[in-house]
Each structure stands twice: as structure tokens, then as C-alpha cells.
């Protein structure tokens, strides 16, 4: 088996999320433009994101501060560096390394929720409350209920038949919660407001922590075969259908691994045609990082294996990885990495 691991995306301590913004078009393979050798992005996605941020900064109108709540403050790195650093460390490290220190918080907790918790615990670090409400009523659908069925229909069928019903969403890279939010907005009686994770955002590749964390890893490939001589139709155990094994509504493998103290998974089978977004989101909720390899299919199998073309593999790898990018490796309209 041959695996090409995109370590840049999935090393446990490295995050390359970027701030939200529009996505200017770039030419194919436009990674380092001429004259930008010292400042070019590591990939076309990052370069596109950098340009989007620059556009937003030059066109955004200044907002006037709200006077509705006088005793609150939104922490930022310039005006309140100690509180801001404490909130960010809690979100990126603390709740995973010492969950017992933060009862009620988790990977899905918002910046405001964490700041409110720290303010209550130690007002000298965060002297003011957050200005936005920290805890709003939200709920995840129960597997098999009407909301869950509506979300799955939207994600697997509806968006293909009627993409105009789901503006801004994509079948491969958008999350279940994003689809739930659309359904909730149009029919709140069908689906409650989703509990959306607060993804940390950076404008440049950034280490999530300066601390050295111990990797407690497991190689995960739970083949369900019970006898020899039977071939799997697909060995990608990050797909929606294999949630019967890893999801909380199924066998609950990810929760079991989390309870064992696992913080890293090494995956094997990788079908680029299926979305991995739900799996990656669930792993993130449980504080588990994921290292994904490319299977040997495009290299020694497939319709045009490169082993039969003098091992010229660029085209196969390019196509394979591009499909991965649009099926869960990226988010927000394929403009930021998961």
C-alpha cells in the first residue's frame, strides 16, 4: 500500500484556517505568482484567501460600537491581549488537555462562551463579560427524527436537485449544521437552531500551541468483514454511510476512542468521491486530530494507473487530491482548510 500523506493539513499542532471572506478567482496552479517569491502563499487556496482578506479590509465600512450593553467588551489581541490569549489558549488547548478545568465547555463552545466562563472564574484575567450572548438554545437532530431526515435529504439529494434552495452551500464541503441552519431559517418547527462549532481562524499558517503535546494515536480501519475471501466495496471509513461505526448514533467508535484518551487517528482507505466533512467535524468535537493518506487506487489500480505510465503520477495525484479538497478537506466554499 502506498500513502501520500498531506501532513501540512493534518499535523496535530498545525492549523491553517483563515479568516472569512470572498474568494477571488485564481488561475489553475496559481500558487506563487512572479515577483511574490518571498511572500507567496503555500497553496492557491491560501493565496486566494489572502487576497479576499485584503479586499475585505479595503472595502469594509467602519462599524460604530454598540452602546446597548455598557459593561461588556469584545476581547481582541490589541486592546485586551491577556484575556484574548487566555480565551484562544482555552479553545485550542485547554479544553482538550484539561477538560476537567472547564465544565460545560467543549470544542463547539464559542469565543463568547469561553470568555464568559473565564470571567466568572477569574475576573482579573477577563474583567468584562462578552457583548454577544454566550449560550443560546441550540440542538442537534436525533438520528432518524424528522430534522435529521430533512438534513440528510438536503445534503445528499436536495442540493443536487435544487441548489438554489441552499445558497452558499456545497454538497461535499458544507457541514450538516450548515444545512440545518438553512432548514431552520425556512421552517423552525422542522429543525431547531444548529449548534455550530467555532472554528479558530488565522490569516497565515499558525501553530495552535507552542506546547509539546503527546500524540496518542490509533490506526483506524474498522473493516466489518467476518470471513476471508470477501472484498469491501469501499474501504473509506470516513464516509457518511460508515457513520454506523464511528458516529454517536451508531456504534460510537469515535466516542470510545475519545474516552480511551486517543487524540490522533491515522486513516487508510480514502475514496475521494465521498465527503469526509461530518467525520472530520465529529473528530474535532472530541479533540481528535486526523492524518489522512491517499490510497493506492490511482497509482496501481484505477482506469489509468500511473504504474503503467512510467510512474508519471502527477495527473492522478492532482485529480485525487482536488476531489479531497472539495469533499471535506476544505470549508466555506472551498476557501479555507478544515
Distance, CA of 37 to chain centre:
29
Nearest residue to 159 (alpha-carbon basis) of 178, 135, 134: 178
Half-sphere exposure of 254 (CA within 13 A, CB side): 26
Strand arrangement of the beta sheet that strand 217-220 belongs to: 217-220, 264-267, 289-291
Residue 168 confidence (pLDDT) above 70: yes
Q: What are the two backbone dihedrals, phi and then psi, of residue 275, each rounded to the nearest 5 degrees?
A: -75, 145
CB 13 within 8 A of CB 334: no
- Higher-confidence residue of 309 and 321: namely 321
Distances (CA, A) of 40 to 31, 54, 114: 7, 14, 34
Q: What letters, b where the CB count within 10 A reaches 16 and e where it falls short, cover 92-116? A: bbbbbbeeeebeebbbbbbbbbbbb
224 falls in which pLDDT band (50, 70, 90)? Answer: confident
Nearest residue to 320 (alpha-carbon basis) of 336, 302, 308: 302
Q: DSSP letter string over 219-258?
A: EE------STT---S---TTSSTTHHHHSTTTT-HHHHHH
CB 171 within 8 A of CB 155: yes
- Higher-confidence residue of 267 and 13: namely 267
Q: What is the mean pLDDT of residues 173-195?
A: 87
305 falls in which pLDDT band (50, 70, 90)? Answer: confident
Q: What is the mean pLDDT of residues 285-310?
A: 85
Q: Locate 2 and state its grid cell.
A: 502506498
Q: Locate 154 and state its grid cell.
A: 438536503
> Can you tell me the distance from the alpha carbon of 336 to that of 324, in angstroms, rounded to the nearest whole number?
13
Please give the angle made by the CA atoms of 124, 75 and 195, to the nearest 5 degrees: 110
CB 181 within 8 A of CB 194: yes
Q: What is the pLDDT of residue 1?
A: 32
6 falls in which pLDDT band (50, 70, 90)? Answer: very low
Q: What is the pLDDT of residues 84-141, one digit of tens each?
A: 888 888 877 787 778 788 887 766 567 888 888 888 888 888 888 887 654 457 888 9
> Can you tell me the distance from the alpha carbon of 292 to that of 8, in angstroms, rounded to the nearest whole number?
11
Residue 65 confidence (pLDDT) above 50: no
Q: What is the mean pLDDT of residues 304-308?
A: 83
Average pLDDT, the chain: 76
Q: What is the mean pLDDT of residues 19-42?
A: 44
Look at 26-30, 184-188, 254-258 and tell me which has the smallest mean pLDDT.
26-30
Q: Locate 183 and state its grid cell.
A: 432548514
Q: Locate 313 and state its grid cell.
A: 503520477
Percentage with pLDDT > 70 across the chain: 74
Q: What are the two backbone dihedrals, phi and then psi, of residue 220, each rounded to the nearest 5 degrees?
A: -115, 115
CB 113 within 8 A of CB 107: no
Q: What is the mean pLDDT of residues 61-78?
A: 54
Q: What is the pLDDT of residue 54?
A: 53
Q: What is the pLDDT of residue 182?
A: 85
Amino acid at each position: 500500500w502506498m500513502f501520500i500523506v498531506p501532513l501540512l493539513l493534518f499535523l496535530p499542532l498545525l492549523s491553517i484556517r483563515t479568516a472569512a471572506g470572498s474568494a477571488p478567482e485564481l488561475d489553475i496552479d496559481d500558487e506563487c505568482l512572479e515577483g511574490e517569491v518571498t511572500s507567496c502563499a503555500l497553496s492557491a487556496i491560501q493565496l486566494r484567501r489572502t487576497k479576499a482578506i485584503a479586499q475585505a479590509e479595503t472595502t469594509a465600512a467602519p462599524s460604530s460600537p454598540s452602546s446597548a450593553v455598557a459593561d461588556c467588551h469584545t476581547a481582541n489581541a490589541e486592546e485586551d491581549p491577556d484575556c484574548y490569549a487566555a480565551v484562544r489558549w482555552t479553545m485550542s488547548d485547554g479544553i482538550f488537555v484539561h477538560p476537567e478545568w472547564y465544565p460545560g465547555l467543549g470544542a463547539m463552545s464559542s469565543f463568547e462562551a469561553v470568555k464568559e466562563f473565564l470571567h466568572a472564574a477569574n475576573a482579573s484575567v477577563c474583567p468584562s463579560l462578552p457583548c454577544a450572548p454566550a449560550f443560546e438554545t441550540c440542538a442537534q437532530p436525533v438520528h432518524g427524527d424528522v430534522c435529521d431526515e430533512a438534513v440528510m435529504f438536503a445534503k445528499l439529494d436536495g442540493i443536487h436537485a435544487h441548489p438554489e434552495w441552499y445558497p452558499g452551500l456545497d454538497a461535499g464541503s458544507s457541514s450538516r449544521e450548515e444545512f440545518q441552519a438553512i432548514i431552520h431559517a425556512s421552517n423552525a418547527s422542522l429543525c431547531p437552531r444548529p449548534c455550530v462549532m467555532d472554528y479558530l481562524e488565522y490569516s497565515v499558517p499558525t501553530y495552535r500551541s507552542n506546547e509539546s503535546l503527546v500524540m496518542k494515536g490509533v490506526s483506524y480501519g474498522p473493516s466489518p468483514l467476518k470471513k476471508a475471501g470477501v472484498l469491501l466495496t469501499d474501504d473509506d471509513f470516513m464516509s457518511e454511510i460508515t457513520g454506523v461505526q464511528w458516529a454517536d448514533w451508531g456504534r460510537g467508535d469515535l466516542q470510545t476512542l475519545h474516552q480511551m484518551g486517543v487524540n490522533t487517528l491515522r486513516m487508510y482507505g480514502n475514496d475521494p468521491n465521498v465527503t469526509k466533512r461530518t467525520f472530520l467535524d465529529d473528530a474535532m468535537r472530541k479533540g481528535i486530530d486526523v492524518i489522512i493518506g491517499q490510497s493506492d487506487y490511482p497509482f496501481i489500480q484505477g482506469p489509468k494507473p500511473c504504474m503503467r505510465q512510467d510512474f508519471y503520477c502527477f495527473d492522478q495525484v492532482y485529480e485525487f487530491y482536488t476531489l479531497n479538497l472539495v469533499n471535506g478537506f476544505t470549508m466555506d466554499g472551498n476557501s479555507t482548510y478544515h
